[in-house]
Structure formats: structure tokens, C-alpha cells
Chain A
Amino acid sequence: MVSPVLLIAVPLGLAFAMPLIALISRRLPRFVPLVACAFNLIVAIRLIPTVLSAPVIQRIGGFSPPFCINLFAGPVGVMFAGLIALAGLVIAIYALSYIRTGPTVRYHMLYMLLLVGATGVVLTGDVFNLFVFFEVLCISSYALVAYFGDRNGLEAAAKYLIQGAVGSALLLMGIGLLYGLFGTLNMADIASRIGSVSDISVFVPLALIVSGLGVEAAIFPLNAWLPDAHSSAPSSISAILSGIAIEVGLYAVVRMIFTVFGATSIFMFLLFLGVLTVLMGELCAFAQTNIKRMLAYSSIGQIGLIVFAFAMASTISLAGGLFQLLTHTLSKALLFLAAGYMIHRSGSMEISSLNGMGRRMPLTSLAFSFGAFSIVGLPPFIGFPSKFLIVRSALEKQQTLFTLLLGFVLLGTLVEGAYFFRVVQAIYFKKSGDEPASRSLAPALPLISMLILAVLIIFVGIYPQPVADALSTAASDLLDRAAYIGSVLR
């Protein structure tokens, strides 16, 4: 059996080794993320059958929980880790030729550390450890947003940093209060003691932690950094931020609420928050003329949808939410990657500058359309099964409120469809301006990465069964607090 700790340790070791590798040859470091992600992907895939039957508890340092930090490699965690590795791999392939200027070695190092941070967050079973890895994730993304060092990038990074730092401080305050209340930092241990103090005392740390993590998870109204950061970062980083970073933040929120606090009563609030996030995100995106900003706002909408699904807190809705998360990771990554090269080609982020791209960059445009269709939830793309599950879970509640909220969410989807289809049309059917319609493909490597994502989007869209099965196991893992506590504090 492979140990889940390898998922964190090996990439981290490789990241540490990169300066040395860079001393040997400056061309080598860019391949290190590929190796690390491929390794992680293999490990994660090998772990999945194991964790589907029972979660793997990896005790760091060999002490028994709650005295040590433990990794909790449950179905959710390992699938997340696999997803991170997958997205990381694809985007790393893309970045091989996309990132040509600037301190490229540092880019790849930071990129790997971002992935390490994300993997750490999803695997850890300790509140403070989560904070630490969360910071690894955040700080590397601050730096990566500013990577090009242009006006927008720096401004976005500064704003992102300020908001992120406030979020981290709130999170740390919450963790401090938790430690003060329970004298332990182990999630399972806290979860088992959560009933021993008064409601308000539990609530304040919960509020602090939700607000703190919510900043990274881009829940409305904590998401003001997102459109700036996602639109100003290099496209590969936008893809990873949109595809991985906010999802991981969301995972952390969900893990906290579901497992640590078991705060079932806050779900209704989250439900409304989710719907609000959907509507806000989609409406703002609808009014955008900047393609990357539009995609960024669309991410907010998607996050709202996922929150909505999670907040319904049934096995199906959680599976749907996780599925939607997968959808969003793959599709939004594909969208950002495709948009990245189209922007590269046209030299502008305005949607109108993408006119006629279908002729100039046929494959990239095709990839973009696939991503757009998938995000909107059209069959036979991956977005459909996830949307289907979410709708199903909402209707299975058999309550007018849920049906009504579902209506609002679908309204958001409608708006989303409107702006995505607008862009697809611009790409294919609008005449480009003065530039001659010469055909040019993006370089091979980005195309390969887009192709991988597109194939996945279609394949899972057509044959979602295994994924859905695995995700419903994962959903019950998230829902079953007692099992979590039991398996850790055995």
C-alpha cells in the first residue's frame, strides 16, 4: 500500500530540490511539475480503491491521534488529490510553452508549492495543519498572480493579498478559539467534543473560520478578490486558481462545517448564500466585456452552485456538488487555457477581439466551446450529469423552498448560458476585424493539454457512472461524522 503522505512529501521534496536542479540546467525545472503531478496522479489512482472501502489514516511521526497530526485520506481527500494532480499535470503541460518570460524557474516552483498546499489542505486531519497548508496555497497564489509584474497583475495581487491575509487572520483566530475551547487541534477530536460547550461559544469560531476560509472559497460577499486575481493572472494560473484553489477553499469550508462542527443548522443560511452567489456571479459575468473577467465571475457563479448543492446536505446533493466541482475544475481550466492562447493571439482580453477565432485557431476554439457547453450543463458533456444530480437532489427534498431556490439557481444557469453562447458565437461566426484570417494552431503542448481536458469532459459526460458511484461514497464520507471520528480516534 502506498502512503498518502507521499502525495505531499514527494512534490514538496521536488519543489525544494528545484533550485538545485536549476543549478544543473535552467531548462530542467519546468519538467519537474510534470513529474510530480504524474507521480501524484498515479499514487492517487492507486489509493482510490483502498480508500473507497475504508479511509487511510496516516499518522505523522508515529504517534496516535489526537496527539499527532494525522492525514485523513478518505475518498473525498484522495479524489481531490487526484483531481489536483490531474489538473496540475494538464496545466503544467500547458505552461511548458505558455510561460516563456519572467523568472520561469520560480514560476514552476511556486506552481508546485501551490499544488502541494492544495493537496495538503484536502488530506490533512488537523485544523492548524490545514491553516499552514492553506497559507502555502495562498501565498504562492499571491505571488503567481503578480507573476507578469504588470499593473493589473500587481494590483490584483495586492488586493488578493490584503483580503486573503484578513481571511487567514480570522481563520487563525477561529483556530485559536477552538484550541482554547477544546484543547486539541485534531479535527476528529474537536468533532467528538463539539457538544461539550455552549452554542454561542461554538458558533463564534465557526463564523470566524467560515469567513476566513470563505475568502478563499469565494463565497459571496467575500469574493471581491476573485475577478481581479483571476483575470489578471497568467492564464495557466487563472486556470489553476479557478480550477483548484477555490475548490480547495470550498472543501475546507465544507469539511469544517460538516465534519468538525456538524453544524446542520447553518445549512439553510448556506443555501441562501449559495443562491445569492450564483445570481451575483452570473449577473456580473453577463455584463462583462472582458473574457477573463467573465470567466472569473462565472467561477463565482459555479461556486455558488456548488455551495447550493453542498448545503442541501444529502448524499445525492453532495455527490452532485462534488461532481459539479469536478466539472468546474475541468471545464473552467479548459476555458482559461483556451482563452489564454486566444488572448495571446489577439492581444486583447475584450470579447470582441475574439471575433472570428474559430477560423484562426480552430482547435483552441473547439476546446473553448466544449468548456462552455460543459459549464452550462449541456449533454453529452460532463456538466450535464452534475447538474442532473443537483437538480435531482433539490427536487428530492420535496419542499417548495428548495424547488424555488432551484428555480433561482437555474435562472443563474440561464444567464450563464446566455453569456457563454454569446462568446462561442463571437468566436465562430463573427467576422474578425482587419487581421487576415490566417489559420494558426496554438503550439502542440497547450493543444495536448486542452485535448486531454476536452476528452475527459466528453468521456465522463457520456459515461459518468463510475465517477458518480465514487462520488456518492465520497459524499457519505463527508456526511458521516461518526465514522470520521471513529476511524481517526480508533
Chain B
Amino acid sequence: MRVFLSLLALAVIALGIAMTLTDIPFGKPKADIATHYVENGREDTGAVNIITSVVLGYRGFDTLGEVAVLFVAAMGLGAVLATGTRTPKANGWEPASLVLYTGCRFLFPLIVLFGAYIFIHGHLTPGGGFQGGAIIASAFLLTYLGCRGRRVHEAWSSAVESLGGLTFVVLGLAGLTAAGHYFLSAFLPAGTLGQLFSGGIIPLIYIAIGLKVGSELAGVIDRLVEESQ
């Protein structure tokens, strides 16, 4: 009965959506706004990667919100899973083998480095702060899996988180005071297109985001791992 009702309801919704989709042809070029971005993105923001110019330039405010969402999630997770004590309890789990242990420790800096590369080059190549941050977090995850007992130092991670977020906001506010009186306006020189040091504030923000996302995701993983012990 329940399934039938669900299917019926979903079918009605699907029908409605299908009727709407006839107005949204697949694979056809359309929005003049998108065209505007593609054509002017490089000049406006100094980023070769138009997605980056959208993410941090045209729709930078979304990204600020996005960072906030992630921050909320990390904090909320912490609040829900707050255990009070941070001392990991001794458990009877078998320690990792030497190969695994060494391998993980060997891979850790490489992965972090790769992550850093991704977010530093966010305005030039596919990728950016979130992607880079996720990769950095994966390094921590690897450590948790391979080298049990190693933990992120909470004070450091929260300091990084905090500083990353602050940097973003302060850069935005600096735009408000420095140039054009717009929040998040590109007040630094755009530099030469396609160079590493170009794109004004975009790389700075991406670095901040990358670090922040990395430490936040690592923190989330840390919490969940701790919970599972």
C-alpha cells in the first residue's frame, strides 16, 4: 500500500517534471549569462578556469556560504558527537603492519602536496580549494586507517580552520573598503593571464579555502573515527 502510494505520488511528480523538461532541451546552448561569463570571465577575474571565476568571482558569495555550511557541519558534528574527553581509549585492535604503517606515512606528505597543488592552481586548471581540501583530508583519512592512534592536533586544526575562514571574510571586507565599495571585489592586480601569480585575490582565497576545508574534513573524519573506537 505504502509502496503503491509512493509510486503513484512519484509518478505524478515525474509527469509534472517531464512536462517542464520539454522546455529545457538537453545539450543546447542557451543562457546569455553563461555566455557572458565565458566570454568575459578572464578579463573580469583574471582566472583562466571560468568555473573558478564563477565560483570565486561572480558567485563568490555562494562560496562564502558554502564554506560556512561546511564549517557548520564540522561544528555541528563536534557538538553532536562531543564526548567531553579527547583521550583515545585503548582498544584491543591489532596495530597496523609495518608495511601499511610506513606506506601510509610515506604517502601522507605526497597527498598533502598534491592537494596543495590542486588548490593553488585552482584558477588555472580544473580543481580548486574544495577539491584540494578534500584531497588533503583524504591524506588524514589514510593516516587514520593505516596509522592508528595518530591524531590531528585539535588546536592547530581549529586555528587553521578559523584563519582560513577569517582570511576569506577579511579579503571580502577589504574589497569593501579598498576598491569600488563592493564586497569580494577584486582589489588586487589581476596579473598576467595564465600565470600562477595572477587572478588577484582568487588564489589567496583558494589557499584559505583549501586549508580550511582540509582541516575541517579531517576534523569530521577525526570525530567519526573517534566515535567508532
Contact = CB atoms under 8 A, between A and B. Distances in A.
User: A and B touching (C-beta < 8 Å)?
Assistant: yes
Contacts of A126: 59, 61-62
Contacts of B146: none
A120 B23 contact: no
B94 interface: no
A146 B186 CA distance: 40
A62 interface: yes
A255 interface: no
A205 interface: yes
Q: For this complex, into which size category does the number of interface residues on chain B fall?
A: 35 or more
Interface centre among A58, A60, A181 (most CB of B within 10 A): A60
B33 interface: yes
Interface string A23-36: 10000000000000
A139 interface: yes
B20 A205 contact: yes
Nearest to A177: B20
A313 B63 CA distance: 35
Interface in B43-75: 44, 57-62, 64-66, 68-69, 71-73, 75
Contact of A67 (B37, B80, B182): B37
Interface stretch (A103-111, A304-312, A423-431): A103-111
Contacts of A135: 65, 69
A197 B60 CA distance: 30
A201 B82 CA distance: 47
A130 B161 CA distance: 24
B131 to A, nearest CB: 18
**Interface of A: prevailing SS:** helix
A162 interface: no
A13 B183 CA distance: 13
Contact of A69 (B17, B33, B61, B170): B61
A61 B77 CA distance: 32
Interface stretch (A14-22, A370-378, A458-466): A14-22
Interface in B120-177: 155, 158-159, 161-166, 168-170, 172-173, 175-176
A136 B162 contact: no
A143 interface: yes
A12 B65 CA distance: 9
B184 A12 contact: no
A436 interface: no
Interface in B17-31: 17, 19-24, 30-31
B194 interface: no
Given A129-B65, A135-B69, A110 B75 contact: yes
Contacts of A303: none
B16 interface: yes
A20 B61 contact: no
A183 interface: yes
B20 A201 contact: yes
B59 to A, nearest CB: 6
A203 B20 CA distance: 8
B59 A19 contact: no
Contact of B20 (A139, A149, A200): A200
A103 B79 contact: yes
Contacts of A69: 58-62
B76 interface: yes
A204 interface: yes
A120 B76 contact: no
A133 B65 contact: yes
Contacts of B92: none
B79 A147 contact: yes
Contacts of A109: 75
A129 B24 contact: no
11 contacts: A9-B172, A15-B165, A17-B162, A61-B60, A106-B82, A110-B76, A139-B72, A144-B79, A180-B23, A201-B19, A203-B16
Given A61-B175, A61-B183, A110-B76, 10 more contacts: A61-B184, A62-B185, A63-B57, A106-B75, A106-B82, A107-B79, A132-B69, A135-B69, A136-B72, A177-B21
